[in-house]
Amino acid sequence: MITEADTCRNYILPKLYDAGWTNEQISEQKSFTDGQIFVSGSTTRRGKSKRADYLLRMTRNFPIAVLEAKAAYKKPGDGLQQVVGIITGMGI
């Protein structure tokens, strides 16, 4: 069975490199927010940080794409809700 890690290593990374992306432009397994802030009265807490399988960046502080890998046995749409949550957390 092909896992998500296999999908990343055998399919996604080679295609990114073939398309001209460099290691400096690809961030793998990257947390990119500190988490939503929840306020309740005078107390605050942070929610879970947002994390993506890949962030593609034009420059260090300018991400332009989020890639979410899934195992081969899953449907492409299985990651859609996860990406929507990531993008929402980025303020896009």
Per-residue pLDDT of the chain (92 residues; tens, 9 = 90+): 778 888 888 888 999 999 999 999 998 887 777 778 899 999 999 888 777 888 899 988 888 888 888 877 787 777 777 777 666 655 55
Domain hosting residue 34, numbered range: 4-90
Query: Residue 39: which region, alpha, beta or left (left: phi > 0; alpha: psi -120 to 50)?
Result: beta
Residue 55: Cβ within 10 Å count = 21
- Residue bearing tokens 């989020």: 66
The pTM is what?
0.66
Q: How many structural domains is the chain composed of?
A: 1
Q: Can you give the CATH number for the domain in which 81 is found?
A: 3.90.1570.30
Cβ-contact 90, 32 below 8 angstroms: yes
Q: Is 67 exposed, middle or buried (0-12, 13-18, 19+ CB in 10 A)?
A: middle
Rounding to the nearest 10 degrees, give the CA dihedral for residues 28, 72, 17, 60.
-20
CA distances to 37, 38, 39, 40, 65 from 43, rounded to whole Å, are 10, 8, 6, 5, 34
